[in-house]
Amino acid sequence: MRADGPPASPPAALRLNIDRDALAANWRTLDRLSGKARAGAAVKADAYGIGARIAVPLLWQAGCRDFFVTYVGEAADILDLVPSASIALLHGPLSDADAGWARATGVRPVINSHEQARRWLEAGGGLCDVMVDTGINRLGLPMAALGDALVQRLEIDVLMSHLASADEDVALNAIQRAGWDEARSALTHRRASLANSAGIVLGAAYHGDLTRPGLSLYGGIARAELAAEIQPVARPMAAIMQVRTLSAGDGVGYNSTFVAPAPMRVGVIALGYADGYLRCWSGGKGAMLFEGRRLPVLGRVSMDMTVIDLAEAPELGEGDWVEADYALVEGAAASGLSQYELLTLLGHRFAR
Ligand SMILES: *Cc1c(COP(=O)(O)O)cnc(C)c1O
């Protein structure tokens, strides 16, 4: 045993390249598109898989002053990076312990129900946010509860609602906006907020004082109007661990779903479904990229590895790196997953 502990671990064979400038630029773009409102940032789910501890300081430096997380644990994870008053807890106080923790740290709980309002006030209350449900019928205070004596007693910073279909042009958007306007008249508050990434595009009537983009900060194209404005942020990379030469008739991976039609050179890369590279990319649906050339996936994606065709890149060998073809719009169309899923899937084994 060594007295000074184990040596630092060498770099992983898979990494997530994060374009820090693109992330900051995307926030500035969404802030500009928010008009008179300021843009905040949804950094829940580890900043959509990018890594909250990487994203939050970059966003703060870009000018972002409002961060939305889901759970207490996610707020705790960034508490040393930004002032607690800039963090809002979207699921609200789910227990008395949550309410006590929010009181003690200064993180703002988002009150979503009569019960949460009672819990927050009993814990001592103080500045909080309120989520009003205007038609998504998910978490949120029903419109009918706006007049509640308990709700009226809340000291509200951000009065928010959440759009169900901002990525579509449907009547529900204006209905929800009208409900949110009604809530703004019914409850005293400091700031009003409605739009997510897609909602920002719907125009000034949806902006209020604060917008809450998530997806498009991280390179997702929430609506076609954003395609020319938003830059990709995350690029998954994996190293080739082994190169083999197959003979005609050799099967690849579990269940031999690919059989070599002729001799071919293949690479085994350190990326699998445990990293979020799901089996939907099996059988050539997915590919790695090397200098613009496509190296299709052969056979099934395994838990920790994937086999790719090296025909287009004969110069590649063990230890070389390839990039997953992970363009979000095209990847969503090819995989049947949403852009949100593609991002939040990216696992903890990537070096970021
Ligand atoms: C996740 C979330 C957002 C961000 O939505 P995007 O579609 O990713 O921009 C905004 N507001 C709330 C309440 C959310 O839960």
129 within domain boundaries: yes
Ligand 1 atom with least separation from CA of 215? 8
Q: Are residues 211 and 241 in the same domain?
A: no
CATH number, domain containing residue 295: 2.40.37.10
Contact between 151 and 129 under an 8 Å Cβ cutoff? The reply is no
| Same domain membership, residue 88 and residue 40 | yes
> Which of 194, 218, 242 is the endpoint of a domain?
218
**Same domain? 208 vs 242:** no
pLDDT at 216 over 70: yes
| Residues 125, 250 within the same domain | no
Whether the predicted pLDDT of 294 surpasses 60: yes
CATH number of the CATH domain containing 209: 3.20.20.10
- Span 304-315, average pLDDT: 98
pLDDT at 1 over 80: no
Ligand 1 pocket, Cβ-based, cut-off 6 angstroms: 42, 44, 90, 162, 196-197, 212-215, 222
Look at residue 13 and tell me if it is in a domain. no
Question: Do 110 and 55 belong together in one domain?
Answer: yes
- Residue after which a domain boundary falls, among 218, 245, 265: 218
**Would the pLDDT of 209 be above 90?**
yes
- Residues 227-272: pLDDT tens digits? 999 999 999 999 999 999 999 999 999 999 999 999 999 999 999 9
- Whether residues 36 and 169 share a domain: the answer is yes
| 323 and 288 inside one domain | yes
Kindly state whether residues 63 and 177 are assigned to the same domain.
Answer: yes
Confidence of residue 4 (pLDDT cuts 50, 70, 90): confident
Report the C-alpha gap between 238 and 312 in whole angstroms.
17
pLDDT averaged over every residue in the chain: 97
Domain co-membership, 160 together with 238? no
Q: How far is Cα 217 from Cα 126, in angstroms, rounded to an integer?
A: 30
Same domain assignment for residues 287 and 320: yes
Is the pLDDT at 295 greater than 90, yes or no? yes
Same structural domain, 242 and 213: no
Residue numbers of the domain that contains 336: 234-344
User: Distance from the CA of 210 to the center of ligand 1, in angstroms?
Assistant: 12
The total number of residues written for the chain in this structure: 352
Q: Number of C-alpha atoms within 13 angstroms, CB side, residue 170?
A: 10
- Atom 12 in ligand 1: residue holding the nearest Cα: 162
The Å distance, Cα 128 to ligand 1 centre, comes to 18
Last residue of a domain, one of 186, 218, 250: 218
Predicted pLDDT at 77:
98
What pLDDT is stored for residue 182 in this prediction?
Answer: 98
Residue nearest to atom 15 of ligand 1 (CA): 90
Give dist(CA 101, CA 98) in Å, integer: 5
Give me the pLDDT at residue 12, please: 87
Clarify whether residues 214 and 238 are in a common domain. Answer: no
Pocket of ligand 1, candidates 130, 160, 212: which has the most ligand atoms within 8 Å of its Cβ, to mutate?
212
Nearest to 213 by CA among 202, 223, 198: 198
What residue's CA is closest to ligand 1, atom 6? Answer: 214
Kindly report, residue by residue over 30-43, the tens digit of the pLDDT: 999 999 999 999 99
User: Which residues are known catalytic residues?
Assistant: 44, 254
pLDDT of residue 10: 84
Residue 181 near residue 152 (C-beta atoms within 8 A)? no
How far does the centroid of ligand 1 lie from the alpha carbon of residue 286, in Å?
Answer: 28
Instruction: Give the model's confidence band at 11: pLDDT under 50 very low, under 70 low, under 90 confident, else very high.
Output: confident
Mean of pLDDT values over 157-182: 98
User: What tens digit of pLDDT does each residue of 187-201 get?
Assistant: 999 999 999 999 999
Nearest atom of ligand 1 to the alpha carbon of 222: 7
Query: What is the percent of the chain with per-residue pLDDT over 90, rounded to a whole number?
Result: 97
- Residue 10 in any domain: the answer is no
Is residue 258 domain-resident? yes
Q: 57 alpha carbon to ligand 1 midpoint, in Å?
A: 19
Least confident piece of the model among 3-7, 117-121, 225-229, 309-313 = 3-7
Considering its fold, how many domains does the chain have in total? 2
